[in-house]
């Protein structure tokens, strides 16, 4: 039996590492740069830094970065740029504290995207847009995406992480299944005589994406519900690249990060666009935003990370948020300094994305629509779970609730309305 004097010695280097780890760095330095080469003039960006979560305090700040890649015109991209951020923020109750506010972002993204889509379609314009929308609060990065633009993270230790989803029908089997099970059709363009060419598309309409904002003429199967991922960086920081498909059609994530290694953000964004255009020519609008998230007083580009095994590393290094804090001191300094995954969800079903089991019980108000924030009279609200085929323990009278207009939108997105009607056109026969 060990005596009371027996103990395990801890190296000085470990003690120093523990001490440094306890010195919390609340607010990183965020720098950004962007570049673009235009072919159609349908790419738009939104950058808002040092936004105040609590008006006037100058402390609780966050930053917004977004990329809108329009198609069939620029109207949807412009409308989303002008309205999406306010719709997202209006879905977050004002009385939440900082941690609750960050935790509420994934649901607010869903409500904001759907509300923006609904309002734009009421203008009867037929253009559409992909969206990659990023909010950075402290070391927490929250990304929402529809379409085929992407947001990729390289952490300080060299890990590559996809923070967005690709909603191209060609490469997303789950989305193809969703569309066909709802009554839509997926196939290539038929040129006659049985010959089919080009990427997989959704019919009617022929869009090769399964999710977007806008696209009134395409049908109800193309939905605006975003994939959302939320991660927390270590205090060593990292670099984000947000780019339209003009970049990713030419460059892999590894190529994009490698070609701008050691460059400041403005030069990095320009170099990525230059490399993409050199690879395949200027076939499409090619836009890039580069964001460095680094410890204070370290505004230089992140140093070159150690060599890793490329694609095998992507996603595999996420450390999920633990429900219990470890009591073992060894774990505090033995765990790799990697990115912590706080939230991930990609379902297209509002009943799953606005789940009443969400821990913030005050996220949704009893008499306010969970999507458009319209006040609902008692008894008029419709549970987001109403009519669900697999409710489990959820009951139709459980919230959150939708107004009648947003309930029609929900039914349209789930393929419960006849094909040929506008997705949210309740006045159509």
> Does residue 157 share a domain with residue 174?
no
Rounded distance between C-alpha atoms, residue 134 and residue 15, angstroms = 36
Rounded distance between C-alpha atoms, residue 272 and residue 310, angstroms = 18
Whether residue 19 lies inside any domain: the answer is no
Whether residue 156 lies inside any domain: the answer is yes
> Does residue 129 share a domain with residue 51?
yes
Note down the domain range covering 368. Answer: 356-429
Rounded distance between C-alpha atoms, residue 70 and residue 131, angstroms = 9
> Does residue 299 share a domain with residue 245?
yes
Whether residue 18 lies inside any domain: the answer is no
Q: Which segments of 41-176 are extended strands (E)?
A: 43-52, 61-71, 128-137, 140-146, 150-155, 160-162
Tell me how many domains the chain contains: 3
- Say what the pTM is: 0.84
DSSP 226: P
> Does residue 225 share a domain with residue 297?
yes
> Does residue 115 share a domain with residue 242?
yes
Whether residue 10 lies inside any domain: the answer is no
Domain-ending residue, one of 154, 180, 208: 208
Tokens of residue 251, six digits: 């460059």
> Does residue 120 share a domain with residue 269?
yes
Rounded distance between C-alpha atoms, residue 112 and residue 92, angstroms = 10
Q: Please report the pLDDT score of residue 8 as a whole number.
A: 55
| pLDDT band, very low/low/confident/very high, at 22 (cuts 50, 70, 90) | very low
Contact between residue 163 and residue 152 where contact means Cβ atoms under 8 Å apart: yes
Rounded distance between C-alpha atoms, residue 338 and residue 312, angstroms = 15
Mean pLDDT of 223-232: 96
Whether residue 34 lies inside any domain: the answer is yes
Instruction: Give residue-wise pLDDT tens across range 242-275.
Output: 999 999 999 999 999 999 999 999 999 999 999 9
Whether residue 2 lies inside any domain: the answer is no
Lowest mean pLDDT among 53-57, 142-146, 218-222, 323-327: 323-327
> Does residue 297 share a domain with residue 225?
yes
> Does residue 155 share a domain with residue 283?
yes
Domain-ending residue, one of 322, 348, 374: 348
Instruction: Give residue-wise pLDDT tens across range 324-381.
Output: 433 333 344 444 567 899 999 999 999 889 875 554 445 666 788 999 999 988 878 8
> Does residue 113 share a domain with residue 246?
yes
What count of residues does the chain have? Answer: 429
Whether residue 13 lies inside any domain: the answer is no
């Amino acid at each position: 039996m060990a005596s009371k004097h027996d103990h395990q010695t801890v190296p000085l280097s470990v003690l120093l590492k523990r001490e440094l780890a306890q010195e919390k760095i609340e607010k990183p330095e965020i720098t950004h740069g962007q570049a673009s080469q235009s072919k159609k003039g349908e790419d738009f960006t939104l950058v808002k830094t040092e936004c105040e979560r609590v008006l006037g305090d100058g402390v609780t700040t966050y930053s917004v970065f977004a990329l809108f890649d329009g198609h069939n015109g620029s109207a949807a991209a412009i409308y989303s740029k002008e309205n999406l951020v306010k719709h997202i923020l209006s879905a977050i109750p004002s009385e939440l504290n900082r941690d609750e506010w960050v935790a509420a972002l994934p649901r607010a993204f869903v409500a904001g995207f759907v509300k923006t889509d609904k309002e734009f379609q009421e203008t009867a314009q037929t253009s559409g847009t992909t969206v990659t929308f990023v909010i950075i609060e402290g070391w927490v990065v929250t990304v929402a995406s529809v379409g085929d633009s992407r947001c990729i993270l390289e952490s300080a230790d060299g890990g590559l992480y996809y923070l967005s989803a690709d909603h191209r029908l060609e490469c997303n089997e789950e989305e193809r299944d969703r569309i066909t099970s709802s009554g839509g059709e997926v196939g290539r363009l038929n040129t006659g005589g049985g010959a089919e060419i080009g990427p997989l598309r959704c019919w009617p309409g022929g869009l090769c994406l399964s999710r977007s904002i806008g696209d009134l003429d395409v049908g109800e199967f193309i939905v605006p519900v975003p994939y959302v991922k939320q991660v927390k960086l270590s205090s060593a920081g990292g670099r984000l690249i947000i780019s339209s498909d003009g970049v990713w059609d030419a460059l892999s994530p590894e190529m994009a990060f490698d070609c701008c290694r050691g460059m400041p953000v403005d030069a990095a964004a320009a170099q990525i666009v230059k490399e993409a255009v050199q690879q395949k020519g200027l076939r499409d609008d090619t836009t890039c935003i580069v964001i460095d998230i680094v410890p204070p007083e370290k505004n230089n580009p992140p140093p070159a990370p150690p060599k890793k095994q490329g694609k095998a590393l992507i996603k595999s290094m996420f450390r999920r948020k633990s429900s219990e804090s470890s009591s073992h001191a060894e774990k505090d300094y033995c765990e790799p300094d990697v990115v912590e995954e706080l939230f991930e969800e990609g379902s297209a079903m509002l009943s799953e994305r606005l789940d009443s089991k969400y821990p913030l019980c005050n996220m949704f108000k009893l008499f306010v629509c969970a999507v458009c924030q319209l006040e609902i009279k008692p008894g008029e609200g419709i549970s987001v779970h109403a009519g669900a085929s697999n409710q489990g323990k959820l009951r139709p009278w459980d919230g959150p609730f939708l107004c009648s207009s947003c309930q029609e939108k929900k039914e349209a997105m789930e393929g419960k309305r006849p094909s040929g009607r506008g997705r949210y056109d309740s006045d159509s026969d």
